[in-house]
Amino acid sequence: MQESTSKTKYVLLGVLSRGPQTGYSIKKAIEYEYSHFWQESFGQIYPTLKFLVKEGFAESTESQDQKNGRGQIAYQITEAGKIELKKWLREAPTIEKLRYEILLKVSFGASCETDAVVGHLDEFIKRNQLLIEEVDGFLDYFKRINKDEERHIDSELTALCGKYIYTAMRDWAVESKRIIEERKVEEHETKNS
C-alpha cells in the first residue's frame, strides 16, 4: 500500500479530518455525501483503517459500553494524518477515467432496434431529471441554513457538481434522442423517394 494509487486512504483521512468516526459511520458518511461521485466498500474501509493506525495516521479507541450491538471502534486522525492528507490535497488530482455504458449502447445502436436505444435514453433522461430535483432540494436547504449557521461548503460543492453533471447528461440524452429520430425519418424518406 506504500506506493499504491488507491485513494481510499485519503478519503478516510478526509472524512476523519472532520471528527472521529467508526468504520461503519464513515461508510454512511461517504454514501450520504459522495455516493454519486465516490464509493468505498467495507472490504476497503476496514483494512485501510487498520493500515492508517499502523502508519500512525489515525488512532483507534475501542468501546463496549454503548447500547447498540457489539463494541465499536472509533477512529480519529492524528497530526501525522493531517499532514499526510494535506500533502495529498496539494498534489494535482489525477485525470479521471470515465466510463459511460449508455454512450456505448447509444453509439453501437445501429446494431439493434432504434426503439431499444430510445427506450434507454428515455430512462436515462428520467433518472437524471429525478437526480436534478433531488440535488436542487439539497441546494435550497443549504441556501436557507447558510444565513444562520456556518456554511457547509463541502456538501454544497458536491451537490453543485451533481446539478451540473446530471443536467449535462440529461441534455445530452435529449439531443441524442432528437438526432437519432431525425436520422430515422431521413432513412424513411430515402426509402420512399
Partner DNA sequence: GCATGCATGTAAGAAGTTACATGATTGT
Partner DNA sequence: ACAATCATGTAACTTCTTACATGCATGC
By the criterion CB under 8 A, which residues form the site for a second copy?
7, 10-11, 14, 17, 33-34, 36-39, 82, 85-86, 88-90, 92-113, 116-117, 120, 123-124, 127, 151, 153-158, 160-161, 164-165, 167-169, 171-172, 175-176, 179-180, 183
- Name the segment binding DNA (CB under 7 A); options: 5-13, 110-118, 147-155, 159-167: 5-13
Q: Is residue 61 a contact point for DNA (CB under 7 A)? A: no
The secondary structure of residue 68, as a DSSP letter, is S
Q: Which of 144, 140, 134 is nearest to 165 (CA)?
A: 134
Between 23 and 109, name the residue whose CB sits nearer to a second copy.
109
Judged by beta carbon distances under 5 to 8 A according to partner kind, the member of a second copy, DNA, none in contact with residue 90 is a second copy
Site string for DNA, 94-123 (x = CB under 7 A): ---x-x------------------------
Distances, alpha carbon 41 to alpha carbons 25, 85, 153, in Å: 12, 20, 25
Task: Map grid coordinates 447528461 to a residue.
Answer: 169
> What residue ranges in the chain does DSSP mark as E strands?
21-22, 58-63, 72-77
Contact 32, 22 (CB under 8 A): no
